[in-house]
Amino acid sequence: MTARIGVVTFPGSLDDRDTQRAIRLAGAEPVALWHKDKNLHQVDAVVLPGGFSYGDYLRAGAISRFSPVMETVIEQAKSGLPVLGICNGFQILTEAHLLPGAMLGNNHLHFICRDQKLRVENAGTAWTSDYTSGQEIHIPLKNMDGRYVADEHTLDELEAEGRVVFRYLDVNPNGSLRDIAGITNAAGNVVGLMPHPEHAVEPLVGSGRTDGLPFFTSILKKLVNA
């Protein structure tokens, strides 16, 4: 049976279709989920895509966190449902308290769009098993509110528990503390990151690299072998 991975569309989502395409290329079935629908339609995993949900009014991700679909996502994520938050999706995960910390405006106060070098710090999550720890990859990055912050205790805890999943290399593009580009929850089923792996899945499209495809093959293998 083909694994079904839901992609939530909020008002202002931009990368939902790109994410669906990446899922399809990995060999899974993408399922479009609407933010007002609490029903996840029996998907095996969920992706919260990038964009500017609700125009980033109030705070990035702050309004989407209260969308009806998130009630179910939060409940099922706490029970083990794999959830990936990309950029705006990462912001929503922090607002929903599925991941610790918060996302603030870039320290240079400008929107940034670049091909970003990352180091894989944790290849043991549901979304990163097709990488190796220490692997260096390039993933497109585009954000205005991408600066990850948390108190020192939380940062130390993330480091000690191996929950920093990705770290920026060569340059810190937005002032994120400790060069953090992505983190996971303690169980490893919820992952959030600022760069956009769905834009690096085909050699002729986007960045010209396929460094982002392992996100989607990782979760497919986990679901198939579960």
Residues labelled as active-site residues: 87, 196, 198
Q: Is the CB of residue 197 less than 8 Å from the CB of residue 206?
A: no
Phi, psi dihedral angles at 106 (to 5 degrees) = -55, 140
**Residue 141 Ramachandran class (φ > 0 left, ψ -120 to 50 alpha, else beta):** beta
Task: Concatenate the DSSP letters of all residues of 6-57 into one string.
Answer: EEEE-TTB-SHHHHHHHHHHHTPEEEEEETT----TT-SEEEE--B-GGGG-
Quick check: helix, strand or coil at residue 166?
A: strand
CB atoms within 10 A of CB 155: 19
| Cβ-Cβ contacts under 8 Å for 219 (sequence gap 6 or more) | 3, 5, 26, 28, 45, 82, 84, 126, 127
Quick check: helix, strand or coil at residue 72?
A: helix
